[in-house]
C-alpha cells in the first residue's frame, strides 16, 4: 500500500505530517511502494482526478474542497472523511464524517513529551502566503511569534505547543492547536483561504466558523499579465460579478499605511480574541472514533 499526500514546495507541515504519523501509528511495513492500493489520509485531496488511478483507494479522513469531488465506485474504501460537507459532497452517510485524522498525533510518543507554553500568541500563514509578505517584519511589529508552515512538521508543532494562542490562516495550524488543547483563531488573509474546508472541519468539532478578516496586503512581485488579471478580478468582485476571494488577489504592492492596518488587526486579534477550542467531551469522542477506525483499518488490511 502506498501512502499518498500532497507534497508541496517548499513544504507544508500539515501535508508532510502524513509521512511520519501513519507509519508511526501502524505496524512496520504497512506502507510500501505497491500502487495497487493507495492510502489517502490528512489533506484536502479528494478530487475527481483520482478516478484516473485504477488502484484500490483507501480514504482515511481526507477532505474535499479544492476540486470537484470524485464519484465513488467499488475502487474506493471510505473509512471516514474530515467532516459533514465532505460526506455530503461524496454522497456518504453523515456517520462517515468524524474529523481530521491529524488528531491521532495525540496517540504518539511525541505527544507525551512535555512542552511548556512560553509564547503568548503565534501567527501561522498559509504556506502559499509566506511569499506575499515580509512576515518576519510583521512578527516584529505585532509581537506575535511567526510560525513558518513550510518548516519541518516537528518544528511547527513544537512552536504551536509553546503558544497560548494560535492565530492561523493554516487549517492544520488550528487542528494541531486543538489537538493539544490550545486556543486558536482563524484569520482570512489571502485568496487561498478556503471556507469550505474550514467549515467542514469546524462542523465536525461543533465549533462555529467565525474567521477574522485581515486587510489584504502584498509585498511580493508579479508579472505584468498577472497584475492585470488580478486587477480585473478585483474590480469584478467589488461589483458583485466575481467571488469575494478575488478582492484578495494582489495586483500592486501595499503602502505602509495598508501594512500598518494589517499589523493593527493582527495585534488586536491576538490581544483581545478569546480563541476557539472544541469541547473536551467532543474531543475525546473524536479520538475514540478515530482509534476505532485505525483498528478497523488494520483488521481490513492485516498484511
Q: What is the per-residue pLDDT across 113-126, written as a single tens digit (0 to 9) for each?
A: 999 999 999 999 99
Q: Any alpha helices (H) in 90-152, and if so which ranges?
A: 135-142
What is the DSSP secondary structure assignment for residue 104, as one 8-state letter?
A: G
List, for residues 66-109, the tens digit of each pLDDT value: 989 999 999 999 999 999 999 999 999 999 999 999 999 999 99
d(CA 115, CA 232): 48
The 2-4 sheet, strands edge to edge = 2-4, 37-40, 56-60, 76-80
Distances (CA, A) of 11 to 15, 106, 182, 260: 8, 23, 24, 29
The mean pLDDT value of the chain amounts to 96
Asked if the bond preceding 10 is cis, omega within 30° of 0, the reply is yes
Domains and CATH numbers, the chain: 2-102+281-300 (no CATH), 110-277 (3.40.50)
Q: Which residues, listed in sequence order, are joined to residue 163 by a DSSP beta bridge?
A: 119
Q: How far apart are the first and last CA of the chain?
A: 10
List, for residues 246-298, the tens digit of each pLDDT value: 999 999 999 999 999 999 999 999 999 999 999 999 999 999 999 999 999 99
Amino acid at each position: 500500500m502506498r501512502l499518498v499526500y500532497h507534497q508541496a514546495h517548499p513544504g507544508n507541515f500539515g501535508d508532510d505530517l502524513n509521512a511520519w504519523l501513519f507509519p508511526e501509528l501502524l505496524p512496520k511495513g504497512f506502507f510500501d511502494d505497491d500502487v495497487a492500493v493507495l492510502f489517502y489520509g490528512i489533506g484536502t485531496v479528494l478530487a475527481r482526478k483520482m478516478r484516473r488511478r485504477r488502484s484500490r483507494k483507501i480514504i482515511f479522513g481526507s477532505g474535499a474542497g479544492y476540486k470537484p469531488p470524485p464519484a465513488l465506485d467499488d475502487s474506493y474504501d471510505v473509512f471516514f472523511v474530515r467532516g459533514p460537507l465532505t460526506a455530503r459532497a461524496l454522497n456518504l452517510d453523515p456517520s462517515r464524517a468524524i474529523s481530521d485524522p491529524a488528531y491521532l498525533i495525540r496517540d504518539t510518543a511525541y505527544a507525551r513529551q512535555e512542552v511548556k507554553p512560553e509564547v503568548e500568541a503565534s501567527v501561522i500563514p498559509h504556506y502559499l502566503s509566506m511569499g506575499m509578505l515580509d512576515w518576519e517584519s510583521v512578527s516584529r511589529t505585532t509581537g506575535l511569534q511567526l510560525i513558518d508552515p513550510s518548516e519541518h512538521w516537528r518544528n511547527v508543532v513544537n512552536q504551536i505547543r509553546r503558544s497560548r494562542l494560535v492565530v492561523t490562516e493554516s487549517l492544520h495550524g488550528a487542528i494541531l492547536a486543538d489537538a493539544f488543547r490550545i486556543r486558536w483563531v482563524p484569520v482570512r488573509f489571502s485568496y487561498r483561504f478556503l471556507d469550505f474546508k474550514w467549515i467542514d472541519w469546524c462542523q465536525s468539532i461543533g465549533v462555529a466558523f467565525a474567521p477574522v478578516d485581515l486587510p489584504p496586503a502584498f509585498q511580493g512581485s508579479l508579472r505584468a499579465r498577472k497584475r492585470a488579471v488580478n486587477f480585473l478580478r478585483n474590480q469584478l468582485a467589488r461589483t458583485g460579478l466575481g467571488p469575494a476571494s478575488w478582492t484578495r488577489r494582489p495586483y500592486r504592492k501595499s503602502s505602509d499605511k495598508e501594512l500598518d492596518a494589517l499589523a493593527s488587526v493582527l495585534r488586536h486579534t491576538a490581544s483581545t480574541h478569546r480563541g476557539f477550542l472544541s469541547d473536551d467531551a467532543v474531543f475525546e469522542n473524536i479520538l475514540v472514533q478515530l482509534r476505532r477506525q485505525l483498528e478497523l483499518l488494520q483488521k481490513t488490511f492485516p498484511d
